[in-house]
Structure 1
Amino acid sequence: MSVFARPAAAAVGLLLAGLSGCILDVPYEKYAIVYGVANYQVGVNDLNYTDDDAIAMAALLTEQGYQAILQLDSDANKNQLENTDIPAIAGQAREQDLFVFYFSGHGGQASTGAENPGSDVYNEYIYLYDSDPDNLALTFSDDQLAAALVPIAARKKVIIIDACNSGGLIGNALEADGEPAALAEGSEDIFALAARAISLYANFDGSSADIPPWEALVLSAAGERELSWESSDYGHGIFTYYLLEAASKGDHNGDGWITVSEAYGFVQEKLYRNWSLPRGLYYAHAPHVSGGPVDYVLFEAR
C-alpha cells in the first residue's frame, strides 16, 4: 500500500447466492482472521491507516456475527498467523462454515523466473510485521497463503487484500473484472460486470492463478501491477473505506444481503468515480475479484 496524504489534512444460516439466483440456507458459523500492519520491523516504510483498516474491519465482521481474530503490527507476524491463528480456526471450522481472511498493509511481487506463456511469472507477497523485502524467506507469499489456508475445512473462503499488487493473487488470465474502462464508457452495469467476472472464473482452470478459484473467492484492492493507496482524507485505505461502506450501502438488489459481487461492484464504482478518475492515472487502481460458480454472502444489510 502507498500513502496519499494532503497537508494538514451469530450464526443464522449461510446463504449461497448462485448466479442463477437460487438460494440455499444451511446452518453455519462465520470465522475471520484480520491482520493490519502500519508499523514495520524492518525494510519497508511505515503506513498510516492500515491498522485502522483492520480495527474497523474486525469490528464490522464481529457486528456481523463473525468470530474474528484481530492482530495488529508486531502481533501480525508470520509465526502468529501460521502457527496460532490459522490452527485456531482450523480446529473449529466445518465444511459448511464461512471463513474470511483480511489483510491491510504493504504488498509486493518478485519474479518466479518462469518464462512459459500462461505460467506464474511473479510471486506476490503480503508484508507482515516481520517481513523483509530483501529476504523473501521472511515474507508471506501467495503460494504460502494458499497452502496455509488448506487446513481450514470451510468450503466458503473469502480472501480480502488491501495491498499493492494484490490482484496478482488472482492471476492475469482473466482481468475483465478489473478494467475501469467498461464503467467509464457505460458499456455494462458494474454489478453485472462483477457477476460476469465470477462466472468466467467458474470455467477457469486456475493454471495462472496463485489462489485457485476453487480454493477461495479473492477480493483485491489493486491489479497485479498497481499500487493501492491510503489517504488522510479518508482515514483508511481507499479500498477498505468503500468496502466498509458497502456493508450498509452495497445491497444492489435490495434482498437484505451483500454478496461478494455486490461488495465488489459497490467498491469498484465508488473507488473509480471518487478516487481514480479525479486524481489521474498514477493514483488510479481498480479492485479485482475472482471465484467460482457461487457468490457468497459477505454482510447482512444494516
Structure 2
Amino acid sequence: MKKALIVGINDYPIAPLTGCENDAYAIKSILDTNGDGSPNFDIELKLNVSTKSELKTLIIDLFKGDSDVALLYFSGHGYIDDLGGGFLVTPDAQKNDLGVGMDEVLNYANVSKCKNKVIILDCCHSGVFGSPSGNNNKADIGDGITILTASKSDEVSLENIGGHGVFTTLLLEALKGGAADLRGHITPGSIYAFIDQALGAWDQRPVFKTNINKFVSLRQVNPQIPMQTLREITRLFPSPTEQIDLDPSFEFTNDKTIEHEYIEPFAIPENVEIFKKLQQMNKVGLVIPVDEEHMYFAAMNGKSCKLTALGFHYWRLVKDKRI
C-alpha cells in the first residue's frame, strides 16, 4: 500500500505565492496512476492549509500505520531561523512560530512504522531538512527515509516555469518517465539524478539524503524494451563476454523477394527474429555492433555484436532472476 500527502500553499497573507497549488495538483495527477493507468498512490491533496496545527495533524496522520510507502510533498514557503532550524511555513505564521519545524517532520517519520518514508520539499532553504540544527550535533535520518529537496539550505526555490516551480517542473518530467530505467521503474535516486543533471552550477541545487537499503519505485511507466525480450539476454548471450557472430541472413531486407541488391546467405526467419531482439537491445544501449557503426552493417558485412557495460548489468539481473 502506498499513500501520499500532497500540500500546496499559495495564500500567505504576506508574500503570497502563485505556483504552489499548480504544483500540488500536477504532482497529485501524476502520482495517482502508473503509466499504464493502474492505481499507484492513495493521495490526500490539501491546498492552502491555513494553520500550523492543521498541517502538523496531516503529517502525523500520514506517517501512521505500516504502509509500504508514505510520501510527503510540500510546495510553499520555507524558512530557516538564526539557529539553523528549518520550517514549513503556514499562513498563520507569526514571530517565533513560523510553522511546522522540519525537525518535527523528521521525528514523525523516524518513529513511523511505514516501510519507506519519502519527503519531497519544494520550498526555500529546504536543503536544511535532515541536517543538524540548534544544539544538535548530528542529524538522525532513520531507516527507510529518503529526502529530496528543491534547494540547499542557503538557497531559495524559484517559481514561474510554466506555472510551476523550477524544481517541480523537473520532478514532473522525471515522474512522467524521464527518470525511468529500462524496466520503467522510477525511484527517488533516479529522480534526483535526472534533476541534478538538468540544473547547472549557477542554478538552485537539489539535495538528496537517504538511509535505505533498497530504492522503492514511486511510479512505473512502460518499459523501454519488452520485458520478455530483456529476459532473453542470457539466452542470446550465454556469457556476458561472448560476441554474437552476424551475417546477412540476420537482416530481413536481404530477401530475394525484395527488389534491391542482396547477398548470400539470404534472410533466415530464425536469425531475423534474433536480430530484431538484438536491435531492440541496441536501441536502449544494451548491445553494440563490433567494428561497425550500425547493426545493419554489422550483419551485412559479417561482423558481430556484444553487450555494453549496461547490457552486462541487466544480463546479471536476469541471470540472478532479479527481473
TM-score normalized by the length of structure 1: 0.65
Query: Where does residue 71 of structure 1 map in the other structure?
Result: 46
**Offset, 1:172:** 7.7
The count of aligned residue pairs is: 214
Which one has the largest radius of gyration?
A: 2
Give the alignment of 1:254-269 within 5 angstroms: 254-269=182-197
Matched, 1:100 2:29: no
Query: Where does residue 35 of structure 1 map in the other structure?
Result: 7
**Offset, 1:268:** 1.4
Q: Which amino acid aligns with 1:285?
A: Q
Which deviations, in whole Å up to 9, do the C-alpha atoms of 1:146-175 show, x marking residues without a partner?
A: 2333564202000000011111113289xx
Q: 1:156 to 1:145 in 2, by over 3 A?
A: same
Query: Where does residue 301 of structure 2 map in the other structure?
Result: none
Q: What is the aligned counterpart of 1:125 among 75, 87, 96?
A: 87
Query: Where does residue 16 of structure 1 map in the other structure?
Result: none
Q: 1:88 to 1:124 in 2, by over 3 A?
A: closer
Which deviations, in whole Å up to 9, do the C-alpha atoms of 1:49-87 show, x marking residues without a partner?
A: 0111011111222224111111111x353222333x345
SS at 1:131's partner residue?
Answer: strand
Which deviations, in whole Å up to 9, do the C-alpha atoms of 1:197-237 show, x marking residues without a partner?
A: xxxxxxxxx9533x615362100000011111012x42100
Q: 1:262 to 1:90 in 2, by over 3 A?
A: closer
**Offset, 1:90:** 4.6
Higher relative contact order (CA 8 A, sep 6+): 1
1:164–1:222 contact (8 Å) kept in structure 2? yes
Query: Where does residue 227 of structure 1 map in the other structure?
Result: 156
SS at 1:254's partner residue?
Answer: coil
1:53–1:104 contact (8 Å) kept in structure 2? yes
Percentage identity across paired residues of the two chains: 26
Matched, 1:212 2:183: no
Q: Which amino acid aligns with 2:198?
A: K
Matched, 1:161 2:116: no
Q: Which amino acid aligns with 1:77?
A: T
Q: What value does the CA root-mean-square deviation take over the aligned residues? A: 2.4
Give the alignment of 1:179-190 within 5 angstroms: none
Q: What is the aligned counterpart of 2:27 among 57, 63, 71?
A: 57
**Offset, 1:249:** 2.9
Distance (Å, rounded) in 1 between the aligned partners of 2:73 and 2:125? 15
Which deviations, in whole Å up to 9, do the C-alpha atoms of 1:22-61 show, x marking residues without a partner?
A: xxxxxxx0011111111114xx301110111011111222
Matched, 1:288 2:222: no
**Offset, 1:253:** 3.2
Distance (Å, rounded) in 2 between the aligned partners of 1:224 and 1:155? 27
TM-score normalized by the length of structure 2: 0.61
**Offset, 1:129:** 2.7
Matched, 1:299 2:202: no
Q: Which amino acid aligns with 1:127?
A: V
Unaligned runs of 5+ in 1: 1-28, 113-121, 174-205
